[in-house]
Amino acid sequence: MNRSFPRPTILVSSCLGFAPCRYDGGQLYSGIVDMLTGHVNCIDVCPEMEAGFGVPRSSIRLCMDHEKMEVWQPAQLRTVTRELQQAVDSLQTFFEKCDGAILKGKSPSCGLFDVKIYREIENPQFLRRSSGVFGKAVLKAMAGKAVEDEQRLSNLVLREHFFIKLYTWARFRSIAEQGKMGDLISFHAAHKLLFLACSQSRFWQCGRIVANHGKLPSNEVYQLYTEQMGETLKRPARRQAMVNTLYHAHGWVSQHLAPRERAYIVNTIEEYRDERIPLQAVTRLIEAQAIRFDRGYLLNQVLFRPYPPELADLSDSGKGREVQ
């Protein structure tokens, strides 16, 4: 089945293959960014360059100063909190047009979840991990969108979910620009199985918004749907929920199958449940039956091709399994 895909726009840390802007004048290679460049529009930004810190520059770190977080440049014995925050504020104009972001992990500017925070400016003792200055702003402004650091994307589950969110938001953005209710109804119908697998209760809430019993204007309906969809996609689908969804999809073709064919698909779903085969092995099998019996409802479901198949890569570092 051929499905056309939108071209998402993502925000990327410049040092991940775009510019030698690291403190030491280096730049990094990111396989995931490299793989995505042919499929997405990238907006690369470096908050520290934007702040005028230059290259090479002394490194910075995040320190608590009483209750306040400060950005400290030890070699210069100065705080640069205001300069970095101003740069971050100036980059916010990009957030709205982006469907996701891939930022450099552990960076005091770009890091999302794992940036070291030190106890005091004068006392460089590790306190806890948190977000960097830019990472925090991205997480807040792009809540629910596809936002990850490049290291966590080496984990198969997180990467698949990142792609699912990225392409779902890109599809949604393309219809939200027009704001037509008919498009939203079609969008919701096509994402039914995908959203059901992510969160059954959220899917029904999205449905109530689309039904629009309160006769709200379409821009308000879209706004409510945006918020609810962000919640729906917050976490990857749990395996049990996905298994239930696969059985639901199987129900649309099973009555046409011979007992041995039915048993084969059931067995394949159970292999997926036992983590012996990837999800695509099952969805392709059910999709093949949908094509065979011309089940338009199933063929229209995004679950079967949520993102371009060329992006499917089954390698898994196993790292970062704890989803934020």
Binding region for ligand SF4 (CB under 6 A): 13-15, 21-22, 46-48, 104, 107, 109-110
Least Cβ distance, residue 21 to ligand SF4 (angstroms):
5
Q: Which residues partner with 63 through β-bridges?
A: 70, 118
Place of tokens 């709200």: 216
Residue 132 beta carbon to ligand SF4: minimum distance, rounded to whole angstroms? 8
Q: 201-204: long-range contacts (C-beta < 8 A, 24 or more apart)?
A: 202/228, 202/231, 202/232, 203/232
Structure-block tokens of residue 160: 């698949």
State the DSSP string of 28-73.
Answer: ---HHHHHHTTTSEEEEE-HHHHTT--SS----EEEEETTEEEEEE
The residue type of 73 is Q
List the strands of the sheet with 78-79, edge to edge.
Answer: 78-79, 68-73, 61-65, 115-118, 126-130
Question: Is-contact 64 130, C-beta < 8 A?
Answer: no
- Residue 245 in 3-state DSSP? helix
Cα distance between residue 308 and residue 291, in whole Å: 19
Q: Which is nearer to ligand SF4, 107 or 228 (CB)?
A: 107
